[in-house]
Structure 1
């Protein structure tokens, strides 16, 4: 691995720890690195303070305190105010496709027929140096309209006319970027992803009335949203762009954030466009936040759908909150993918997607997510048939009484041996693939990413550390069963033709450490990052 040092005048030394090429050097220019250093000096300290606040809140939850609506922000929730007008390019978001920033994916997603492509540096992207920097190359070329890709079989991929609107999801505040260090300290991954993208693309996108636009992940408080507002305002000023031209959609994918939807909208009110039901991370956050609360242990993940009470309350509150403030309420991800060799199974999977999207549009969502291009027409058909106009902002608000108890409602269900075993397999296979550089992996006809794998991993910890839990056949759930299941899957997969097979043993070791630990780790990707 080559190491290139760049001296940034008056701001220290940035080290690039990764194999450089001329194409990557065109992204990691002196001017771009100088901009990253300014972002770091301006905002990293505040980021670290807010991450410390997260840990303090979690200590309170672990001690028995429940998340709740904030008393000090009651006026924000009760007063009448609305967010800034939504740009024309984002007025119709009925179907959005998401995926990593690999070159072929970027082209296929922009060409998919979806209204929006969310280019993801986070949950569907393993943050190797190559993936992070090459992803920036791919997005720059897409913005320029010159992106192309040739498959090994000779097939060529190029952009169609009028591709989807591009929205970029940088990584969350909690993640470091250790491949880029300033005086030996890792830069914030969020600021790296954001900074490199706007440095190379913001001007071109603004001139075409296309933003730049962002999806903001993993927020837990209005203060974290306010920090993003400050970052974007700083970047607009540095790049001589109009104030407020950078727009954001926030994923409500943590349990603490569900109690601050109004406050998050208010903190970003001059630039926010909407909130999104990040359902898979939200389930993971429910487990993590309530990890010491035996009354809120969840059943196996296949039983935790959007119709269970706590998720139903969350999605309905998001719709009502957004529409009251003039913001979009975006629906969640359909993780199903086409099943090519089994028409009956494929039809059943598509029916699940249709049912999910029908619930969303009837509830009042303004759009939804899919993970595969083949699902775009399925979701589009549902929203075209049931949504009058380009969104549902003018739909009368439902009278809802959703409070703390509804958002924290325990979830009924069971844990089967099959569900337990599936969690072990998914957590193991995904971790191995992630270590091997893949951030999204098809497993049993579902597209698994970091969020869905986190559910599997966190549930295993939860079930094994709350003693006395049983399977449906009344056999106890024990660490010995976990050990046997993990060993069995590792033995079977070690030489199998699956993504990450070469890293199976390393993934098993890491999964054992995390599952046996006395405390549920905040994120799988943090300890795994050191092994990339």
Structure 2
């Protein structure tokens, strides 16, 4: 089916622009495995992460494509937010402000997305799940209490919106979050919450939050992007930073925002400077980092955010880019004690 979409159908949209077309081969694959293993229909199921703004307009169709093999839909904040820059980032009207200060699930475009997802799922008897709580619980008692209160407040908002569950990274959050669910819900899920009084319009889904860019937010995005590339070079898909687990989703929104802010010469709230190629380069390289791989990661991050054309996915870019392959070759040479060539940047 993917080959047909790519090669044979006239004027067919690219796979990345047609979420439903991507699902068809996967749905048939599950049907075939069901039959091969002799399992009852619908034994193999999948949850679809709605992490693309275009997919938000096709959730009914996505559920229909999977039907008996659907385990529901999931909504998360960062990949979905990054998709606005991916699809509409060249337009000033879709400038996404500092995520550390102005972007959260309480904002209109994200709240509407979650409400529509819950409404769509429950109308079809499918489960709707929220995003992951990425916070790591600190050992200090006061800090632990503060962190728990913050997570509980955000997850309670999702529960009240009708979600049937969500993910946590820190295992210490499982019991408190289960108790939170039990306290505010009845039964194993909230499928009875049909949200019939909720109306979500295209304007709601495409309404960008107001706000600017802070120097802190710029530095934070740069740090997350560089450290993710560094982790990727080490064969890891996540790392810990400032009390949270960071992964490809936060790396996507971080590098996307830096790229967009450079593109639109966005002015910082802190002073009169604008986010420029020079400023981002200086901030990326201005540190006491002395590890060679981290320096390579900083250069690779700059490659991504300084490009004229927006790279579709950071992980795809890293895997296909020559710098990544050069770095891997260095690691192999180091392992056998050979001479280390300088990677091409």
**Shift of the alpha carbon at 1:483?**
0.9
Residue of structure 2 equivalent to 1:391: 189
Structure 2 unaligned segments of length 5 or more: list them: 329-345
Residue of structure 1 equivalent to 2:126: 327
Partner SS state of residue 269, structure 2: coil
Equivalent of 2:232, from 431, 434, 444?
Answer: 434
Equivalent residue runs for 1:278-293 within 5 Å: 278-293=76-91
**Shift of the alpha carbon at 1:462?**
0.3
**How does the TM-score come out when normalised to structure 1?**
0.57
**Take 1:510 and 1:349, find their aligned partners in 2: how far apart are those partners?**
33
Equivalent of 2:301, from 511, 515, 518?
Answer: 511
**Shift of the alpha carbon at 1:482?**
0.6
**Take 1:260 and 1:506, find their aligned partners in 2: how far apart are those partners?**
40
Higher strand share: 1
CA RMSD of aligned residues (A): 2.0
Residue of structure 2 equivalent to 1:99: none
Residue-by-residue CA offset, 1:336-380 (whole Å, 9 max, x unaligned): 11122x433332222111011110111111111111211112211
**Take 2:223 and 2:258, find their aligned partners in 1: how far apart are those partners?**
11
Residue of structure 2 equivalent to 1:157: none
Equivalent of 2:290, from 477, 485, 494?
Answer: 494
Whether the 8 Å contact between 1:414 and 1:472 is mirrored in structure 2 is no
**Take 1:483 and 1:261, find their aligned partners in 2: how far apart are those partners?**
40
Q: Does 1:368 align with 2:130?
A: no
Equivalent residue runs for 1:183-332 within 5 Å: 221-302=19-100, 303-332=102-131
Whether the 8 Å contact between 1:223 and 1:267 is mirrored in structure 2 is no
**Shift of the alpha carbon at 1:423?**
0.8
Whether the 8 Å contact between 1:296 and 1:411 is mirrored in structure 2 is no
Structure 1 pair 287/314, CA: closer, same or farther in 2 (3 Å)? Answer: same
**Shift of the alpha carbon at 1:44?**
5.6
Partner SS state of residue 275, structure 1: strand
Residue of structure 1 equivalent to 2:147: 349
**Take 2:229 and 2:298, find their aligned partners in 1: how far apart are those partners?**
8
Q: Does 1:53 align with 2:13?
A: yes
**Shift of the alpha carbon at 1:244?**
2.6
**Take 2:316 and 2:195, find their aligned partners in 1: how far apart are those partners?**
41
Structure 1 pair 56/360, CA: closer, same or farther in 2 (3 Å)? Answer: closer
Residue of structure 1 equivalent to 2:311: 521
**Shift of the alpha carbon at 1:264?**
0.4
**How does the TM-score come out when normalised to structure 2?**
0.86
Residue of structure 2 equivalent to 1:480: 278
Whether the 8 Å contact between 2:50 and 2:73 is mirrored in structure 1 is yes
Off by >6 Å, runs of 4+ in structure 1:
none
**Shift of the alpha carbon at 1:422?**
0.9
Q: Does 1:416 align with 2:214?
A: yes
Partner SS state of residue 251, structure 1: strand
**Take 2:172 and 2:37, find their aligned partners in 1: how far apart are those partners?**
38
**Take 1:522 and 1:356, find their aligned partners in 2: how far apart are those partners?**
30
**Take 1:373 and 1:56, find their aligned partners in 2: how far apart are those partners?**
34
**Take 1:494 and 1:528, find their aligned partners in 2: how far apart are those partners?**
22
Structure 1 unaligned segments of length 5 or more: list them: 1-42, 58-219, 496-501
**Take 1:244 and 1:391, find their aligned partners in 2: how far apart are those partners?**
19
**Shift of the alpha carbon at 1:316?**
0.5
Report how many aligned residue pairs link the two structures: 318
**Shift of the alpha carbon at 1:463?**
0.1
Residue-by-residue CA offset, 1:112-164 (whole Å, 9 max, x unaligned): xxxxxxxxxxxxxxxxxxxxxxxxxxxxxxxxxxxxxxxxxxxxxxxxxxxxx
Residue of structure 2 equivalent to 1:450: 248
Higher helix share: 2
**Shift of the alpha carbon at 1:243?**
3.4
Whether the 8 Å contact between 2:63 and 2:70 is mirrored in structure 1 is yes
